[in-house]
Amino acid sequence: MQSPLPVRDGVNATRLRLPDEGPWDTAMDYMMHRWGHIDPQGIEDRFDAGEIVGEGGIPLHRGTRLEDHTFIWYYRTLPPETRLPVELNILHQDEHILVVDKPHFLPTTPGGTYIQESALVRLRNQLDLPDLIPMHRLDRMTAGILLLSTNPETRGKYQVLFEKRQVQKEYECVSAAEPAAGHPAVDFPVVVRNRMTKSRSYLLAEVIDGEPNAETRIDLLRTFDGGAAGGQTAAGAGRLGLYRLEPHSGKTHQLRVHMASLGLGILHDSFYPELLDKAPDDYTKPLQLLARGIRFVDPITKAAVEYRSRLQLSEVR
């Protein structure tokens, strides 16, 4: 559903669905029920200023009845954010798409404590492109190629490519050169298939019994010494491997789970194979996972195109 409010400071207005019924006479009563314990005066001020609107951009007031609107829109009060010490690099831009190298630690879209400090909001503000939308997502801790749509009129043509799995993605990662103890040796290339799920209430993705819905082709490109500054090996890993990962599905944390299932957890992964205690971001130890390239037939020009990341994984020697 199209928002009647424009993007402001790179951020979309928030949409709220009002309940069909309940012990609330007005829309403001319901918002007070939801958030009055946080900022009651702010809610009243927004209604008085006409900053909360319904369908068609109609401003609501304190007495607007609950049943008068199904959806309402408003701008959230955004908390101050410290700028993350990472930068985006633009690789390609035309009238239809934008391709960038997303750095580690920067989320693709706003969420949680990261609003202005997301790739989408930064790019909307930097390029004055309020209609910019990502065509896919990279985890906050994953770096590399990110494709975004700049044109709402042609966006659907690119979305169809992803829906029909007509986009080929290639990743690289660094892990140990040999599987961890208790895991069998791996004859590369190998294809990992299983069924994965992730609930909203559970932090990690899980492998469960059932028909496979996740598939990744994994190949070992080369091995090298994991020497780091000060003569110590990276994470005590000794020999490391550079791997190519080609996912044929797009489940949350798929590549991290599939590597860990082989006993080859990706270097500096705080989730898999073991969930570590949450700690502040260590910018000297980014997750060693990079979206290296993306290929597809452009639906506008009909030409085969490929975009490659210019970033390098920091642990590769």
pLDDT digits (tens, 9 = 90+) for 13-60: 999 999 998 999 999 999 999 999 988 999 999 999 999 999 999 999
Close Cβ partners of 80 (under 8 Å, ≥ 6 residues apart):
none
Average pLDDT estimate for 220-226? 94
Q: What are phi and psi of 29, to 5 degrees?
A: -55, -45
Q: Quick one: pLDDT at residue 231?
A: 35
Q: Quick one: pLDDT at residue 162?
A: 95
pLDDT in tens, 266-289: 999 999 998 888 889 999 999 999
How far apart are alpha carbons 212 and 164 in whole angstroms?
Answer: 18
pLDDT band at 222 (very low <50, low <70, confident <90, very high): very high
Structure-block tokens of residue 136: 């896919």
Specify whether the CB–CB gap between 103 and 97 falls below 8 A.
no
pLDDT in tens, 168-203: 999 999 999 999 999 999 999 999 999 999 877 678
Burial of 75 (0-12, 13-18, 19+ CB in 10 A): middle
Is pLDDT of 62 > 60? Answer: yes
pLDDT band at 232 (very low <50, low <70, confident <90, very high): very low
Composition of the chain by helix, strand, coil, percent to 5: 20, 30, 55
How far apart are alpha carbons 77 and 313 in whole angstroms?
Answer: 37
Apex 244 CA angle, 269 and 135, nearest 5: 80
Lowest-confidence region among 30-44, 52-66, 215-229, 296-310? 215-229
How far apart are alpha carbons 192 and 169 in whole angstroms?
Answer: 16
Single-letter code of the amino acid located at 244? R
The model's pTM is 0.90
Is pLDDT of 233 > 80? Answer: no
Q: Quick one: pLDDT at residue 227?
A: 67
Specify whether the CB–CB gap between 283 and 105 falls below 8 A.
yes
Largest Cα separation within the chain, whole Å, is 69
User: How far from each other are the two terminal CA atoms of the chain, in whole angstroms?
Assistant: 49
Is pLDDT of 230 > 80? Answer: no
Average pLDDT estimate for 231-239? 54
Lookup result for tokens 């050169």: 177
The torsion angle over the Cα atoms of residues 246, 250, 251 and 256, rounded to 10 degrees, is: 30
pLDDT in tens, 247-272: 998 898 999 999 999 999 999 999 99
Q: Quick one: pLDDT at residue 229?
A: 39
How far apart are alpha carbons 206 and 226 in whole angstroms?
Answer: 30
pLDDT band at 79 (very low <50, low <70, confident <90, very high): confident
Residue 174 β-bridge partners: 242
pLDDT in tens, 128-166: 999 999 999 999 999 999 999 999 999 999 999 999 999
Q: Quick one: pLDDT at residue 237?
A: 52
Specify whether the CB–CB gap between 305 and 296 falls below 8 A.
yes
pLDDT in tens, 91-109: 999 999 999 999 999 999 9
How far apart are alpha carbons 295 and 201 in whole angstroms?
Answer: 34
How far apart are alpha carbons 176 and 226 in whole angstroms?
Answer: 9
